[in-house]
């Protein structure tokens, strides 16, 4: 999943560009997906088999399943859906497929969290991210600035583009090669 800093940065951009009546409810929806006890259920994960990383990431977020069970009639559900779209795009468009194809799940996870440590402070500062008390603070740095998986030259565009999407008409049947 994208880091909490990335989720909240994109949500802040979204809130500036869209008419959301209850901003706090929207933000709680955004973070609720990652603080849920069962993250497989909250992300509508199709498979738990991590032996094929690309296949696992493709099935990590099932947007259609969310929409079958929920409507976008509350700002909270809009926030949850926004979170899922962010993760879907992060795994299936933002991260480089060629790099991912060379990794196993354990190495992927290790490198991804390394990258979060390298970018979170900058993302937090640039997008005025405030971490609510209910989430673990992942705003620290690991002392590194080099990223393995996250292309920092494309991160701002990714965040800004997510902030511009239309939740109501977001296409849910996309393939990996699609970019926002």
Rounded distance between C-alpha atoms, residue 115 and residue 103, angstroms: 15
pLDDT at 175 exceeding the cut of 80 = no
Residue 128 · residue 105 · CB < 8 Å: no
Query: What would the mean pLDDT of 38-46 be, rounded to a whole number?
Result: 93
Domain coordinates of the chain in residue numbers?
4-168
The CA dihedral of 167, 172, 177, 179, to the nearest 10 degrees, is -10
Query: What would the mean pLDDT of 121-141 be, rounded to a whole number?
Result: 75
pLDDT at 107 exceeding the cut of 90 = yes
Across the chain, mean pLDDT equals 89
In the chain, % of residues over pLDDT 90: 76
Rounded distance between C-alpha atoms, residue 161 and residue 14, angstroms: 9
Give the residue from 60, 115, 87, 63 showing the smallest Cα distance to 1. Answer: 87
Residue 35 · residue 134 · CB < 8 Å: yes
- State the pLDDT confidence band at 177, using cuts at 50, 70 and 90: very low
pLDDT at 135 exceeding the cut of 70 = no
- State the pLDDT confidence band at 46, using cuts at 50, 70 and 90: confident
Please spell the DSSP secondary structure of 102-141, one letter per residue.
Answer: T--HHHHHHHHHHHHHHHHHHHHHHTT----TTS------
Chain segment 49-80, per-residue pLDDT in tens = 999 999 999 999 999 999 999 999 999 999 99
């Amino acid at each position: 999943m994208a880091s909490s800093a990335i989720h909240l940065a994109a949500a802040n951009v979204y809130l500036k560009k869209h008419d959301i009546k209850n901003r706090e409810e929207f933000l709680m929806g955004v973070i609720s997906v990652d603080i849920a006890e069962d993250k497989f259920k909250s992300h509508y994960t199709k498979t738990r088999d991590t032996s094929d990383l690309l296949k696992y990431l493709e099935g990590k977020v099932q947007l259609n399943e969310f929409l079958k069970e929920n409507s976008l009639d509350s700002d909270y559900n809009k926030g949850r859906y926004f979170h899922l779209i962010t993760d879907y795009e992060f795994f299936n468009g933002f991260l480089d497929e060629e790099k991912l194809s060379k990794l196993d799940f354990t190495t992927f996870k290790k490198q991804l969290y390394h990258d979060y440590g390298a970018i979170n402070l900058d993302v937090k500062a640039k997008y005025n991210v405030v971490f609510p008390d209910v989430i673990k603070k992942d705003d620290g740095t690991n002392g590194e600035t080099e990223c393995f998986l996250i292309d920092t030259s494309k991160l701002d565009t990714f965040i800004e583009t997510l902030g511009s999407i239309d939740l109501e008409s977001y296409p849910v049947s996309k393939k990996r090669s699609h970019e926002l």
